[in-house]
A and B are shown apart, each in its own frame.
Chain A
Amino acid sequence: MTAGRVINQDTYPIEKSWLIKSFVYVVIVTIFIAGFVFLSELSKRHEIGLRYGTVVTIMLALQFGSFIVLILRRNRFKYEFGEKNIIIKQGVLSKSERQVFYGRIQNIGVSQDLIDRLFGIASLVIETASDAGGAVVINDQDRSIDPAGILAALGSNSNYIAIPGLSYQNATELKNYVMEQIKANPIDDAQSGL
């Protein structure tokens, strides 16, 4: 790795296919809930039309609302992997900036779910031992407008930062970079009890 190499959301972007993946989830969840509501309405056997239409419309609106929030969040999500720390900036309405020191990283994860594999993308998750992240309240707000639960996995959250939708190769490169930086920035106290 050369020093002075720029690692941020432009050089290692969250792929567009990640949005498509989220959209696939939105569609699947909508179909499931709509089917469920339809069946439960059917079992009552009276005046299905109006109530069913209302429920499904509200649901669709919520789902697409959360999808638009997702696009905004992806656009507003900035990160930079520096020499000593990682800087994460995020937020559409309320902004936050988080610094994570390499020496304080507890573990790094790279994971893929089924749709990720289809698109050849992966999520990189970097965890520390803190529990704040300053995103707890934002997270709760997100949940209320995000029935599919697709927003939680982007950016800094409780004790981790997640960068989803990286191409698999980018995710691996970033992971290797972080591993090198952990080696280059050793901690001078021992938290481990061993």
Chain B
Amino acid sequence: MKIAMSKSREQFPLSGKKPLKKTIPLIISAIVLFVIVLATGIFFSAFLNWSFSTVSMWIFLISILLAVACFLTYQYQIWYFQVYFYDLTDDFIIIRKRVFTPREITIPYERVQDVYVDQDLIDRIMGLYDVHLSSATISSGMEAHIDGVEKDAADGLKNIIMQKVSDKIRKAKGQGS
């Protein structure tokens, strides 16, 4: 599948680590689940006299399932990464994402209320940043973010948005008076 490229994405690319980052929470919970299953299996075979072969078969099946789930999620995240589209045109910010149920949001620069950059724990470990921006509506706050970019791209995106917003507002003020 082709990557949804735009000038902005070329200039400020998404990090290739993004699919992995989005899969890591599942991998962690899969590992925790695996440990729990393993401990339960050992408990059952040691104290409740379940046959060792039954227990190990179940452990094997469950770990296969978990591995498949992780793999499918990773594949989906790669797909998500490929269709992730954002473009900072002269007048609008356009962000489009999601594979099966695409959502696109377009915000004029004059309407941007705030820009902020944040990182969660996994982001900090992997050196990724999320750039959020929103207009005065709730849905834009939930949808308008570009997440999984590295430091240079995050700073670049932030600066260019700030620059364009203040240019636009100055121009609009000039026209009004």
Task: List the interface of chain A (C-beta within 8 A of B).
Answer: 105-114, 116-117, 125, 127-129, 159-160, 175, 179, 182-183, 186-194
Contact = CB atoms under 8 A, between A and B. Distances in A.
B75 interface: no
Given A113-B101, A114-B100, A182-B91, A194 B106 contact: no
A160 B91 CA distance: 21
Which residue, of A175, A188, A194, has the highest number of chain B Cβ atoms within 10 A? A194
6 contacts: A107-B106, A108-B105, A108-B106, A111-B103, A187-B110, A194-B165
A31 to B, nearest CB: 21
Nearest to A172: B104
B91 A107 contact: no
Interface residues on chain B, size class: 20 to 34
Contact of A188 (B103, B105, B113, B175): B175
B69 to A, nearest CB: 21
Contacts of B92: 179, 182
A189 B177 CA distance: 9
A-B residue pairs, 3 tightest by C-beta: A188-B176, A129-B136, A106-B135
A188 B112 contact: no
**Interface residues of A, dominant DSSP:** mixed
Given A111-B101, A117-B101, A106 B106 contact: no
Contacts of A186: 110, 171-172, 175
B110 A192 contact: yes
A128 B138 CA distance: 10
Contact of A191 (B101, B136, B140, B176): B136
A193 B103 contact: no
B7 interface: no
Contact of B91 (A128, A179, A187): A179
A193 B136 CA distance: 11
Nearest to B91: A183
Contact of A187 (B112, B143, B144, B172): B172
